[in-house]
Amino acid sequence: MKKINYLDFPKEYKERKGIYLNAFDRVMKKGVYVLGDEVHNFEGEFSKYLGSKYCIGVANGLEALQISLMAIGIGNGDEVITTPLSAVATTLAIMAVDATPIFVDIKENGQLDENLIEKAITKKTKAVMPVHLYGQPLEIEKINDICKKHKLFLIEDACQAHGTKFKGKIAGTFGDISCFSFYPTKNLGAIGDGGAISTNDEKMAKIMYQLRDYGQETKYMHTRYGLNSRLDELQASVLREKLRFLDKDNNKRSLIAKRYVDRLLKNENIKMILPSNFDDSNFHLFVIKTSKRDLLKEYLLKNGIPSLIHYPISIPDQPMFKGRYNNLEIPVTRKLISEILSIPCHPFMQIQEVDYVCKAINEFFNK
Ligand SMILES: Cc1ncc(COP(=O)(O)O)c(C=O)c1O
């Protein structure tokens, strides 16, 4: 039996060891570990990659979202429209500023349903915070139009969407503010935690540079309340190197995704969650749907193939809310959650491994 890795960091390190160690060496030789040249250069390089004016390196994706909300001035009594299907961090950021998350149901492809947003807008609504889930693009233009019409801020949660595009334009450049996570499993992943915020708004950027660093404008001059949410030099140095591989790695993911589509298309028992324009996705995750999800997951594992569920519990159904949202109408979310399965898809995967996964999936349904 083959053993497939869901992700393969040791293989990546083996291939790129010299490059990553060189980055580490640069930082150690210089002896500056926090907010030095590496962070500054990474911010410049990442904003250039996105085509945005400002990038603020922060400690993680959750705080990127939190700082964005703080910069806008969102707080107690304000409502933020968001999705029930995401990493819990999307909602935690709203809760961290004491605002109220308003959950709007999703579509069959897992993305926030833009057609339901307007119905959820109240006098208290200040912002919409949708997620480019699985690295696939949202209907971000339509959402942007709704935000403009109702004078709401748009914060793009692009934490899974490094290099994702919508009609050829890069995700993370549509909203007033966009947020990224560099958690190791992301397409652009650090060797620990990291995150970034991107914006074209100079005033907002200035506030966010302060918010990530104790609210200080200059050393020991604290203009506002702030966090310690700094991206560190070591992470920034490795991210700079990894950024150079991002498009190439995303292309590799895309080839793997194409192979999955090729080999699984005829299988009537499963559906694949795919973007309307194949080349727009960064294929952060490759997600299939089947009513036999749990049995398939078990079968794959027996055959050496790990898989994950993104996500097994919707955010409003999490125990932390103690049943507060039991009557919330999110039927599509609750159904999808019982069917989705993320199968291995990473740039260091061999095509033979993809074929092995497909064979196992097809065999399961032919048993
Ligand atoms: C969609 C989404 N939002 C926010 C986050 C939070 O990022 P982090 O884990 O870096 O705090 C993540 C990562 O898990 C994510 O996938």
The answer on pLDDT for 1 being more than 90 is no
pLDDT at 271: 98
**Which tokens hold the place of 318?**
């999490």
Determine the distance separating the centroid of ligand 1 and the alpha carbon of 130, expressed in angstroms: 13
Distance of alpha carbon 332 from the chain centroid: 21
Ligand 1 atom showing the smallest separation from residue 183 Cα: 10
Do residue 191 and residue 85 come from a single domain? yes
Q: How far is the CA of 161 from the centre of ligand 1 (A)?
A: 11
Assign 179 to helix, strand or coil. strand
DSSP 186: S
Same-domain status, 226 and 283: no
Total domains, the chain: 2
Query: How large is the average pLDDT for residues 165-174?
Result: 95
CATH number, domain with residue 356: 3.90.1150.10
Q: 159 CA distance to ligand 1 centroid (A)?
A: 5
Nearest to 43 by CA among 172, 188, 198: 198
Average pLDDT, the chain: 97
Centre of ligand 1 from the C-alpha of residue 66, in Å = 12
Q: Is the CB of 183 under 6 A from ligand 1?
A: yes
| Per-residue model confidence as pLDDT tens digits over 43-96 | 999 999 999 999 999 999 999 999 999 999 999 999 999 999 999 999 999 999
**Number of the ligand 1 atom closest to the C-alpha atom of 182:** 10
Assigned token pair, 56: 């603020």
- Of ligand 1's atoms, which has the minimum distance to the CA of residue 63? 11
Q: Quick one: pLDDT band at residue 367, thresholds 50, 70, 90?
A: confident
Distance CA(23)–CA(20), nearest Å, equals: 5
Question: What residue owns the CA closest to ligand 1's atom 14?
Answer: 87
pLDDT (0 to 100) of residue 101? 98
CA distance 259 to 158: 26
For residue 140, tell me if it sits in a domain.
Answer: yes
Flag whether 3 is in a domain.
no
313 and 298 in a single domain? The answer is: yes
**Residues 258-279: what's their mean pLDDT?**
97
Domain range spanning residue 305?
Answer: 246-366
Average pLDDT over residues 148-172: 97
Q: State whether the beta carbon of 60 lies less than 6 angstroms from ligand 1.
A: yes
For residue 367, indicate whether it is catalytic. no
Catalytic residue among 17, 149, 151, 186: 186
**pLDDT for 255:** 98
pLDDT tens for 213-247 read 999 999 999 999 999 999 999 999 999 999 999 99
Closest Cα partner for 129 from 145, 108, 153, 99? 153
CA of 214 to the centre of ligand 1 (A): 22
Give the pLDDT mean for 327-342: 98
Averaged pLDDT for residues 120-134: 98
Evaluate: CB of 86 within 6 angstroms of ligand 1. Answer: yes
SS3 label, residue 86: coil
Is residue 207 located within the same domain as residue 228? yes
- The answer as to whether 1 is a domain residue is no
In the chain, beta strands by DSSP E: 54-58, 79-82, 100-103, 125-129, 153-157, 165-166, 169-170, 177-181, 195-199, 216-218, 221-222, 271-272, 286-289, 340-343
Question: Is the Cβ–Cβ distance between 182 and 62 less than 8 Å?
Answer: no
Residue 230 sits in the same domain as residue 315: no
CATH of the domain at 160: 3.40.640.10
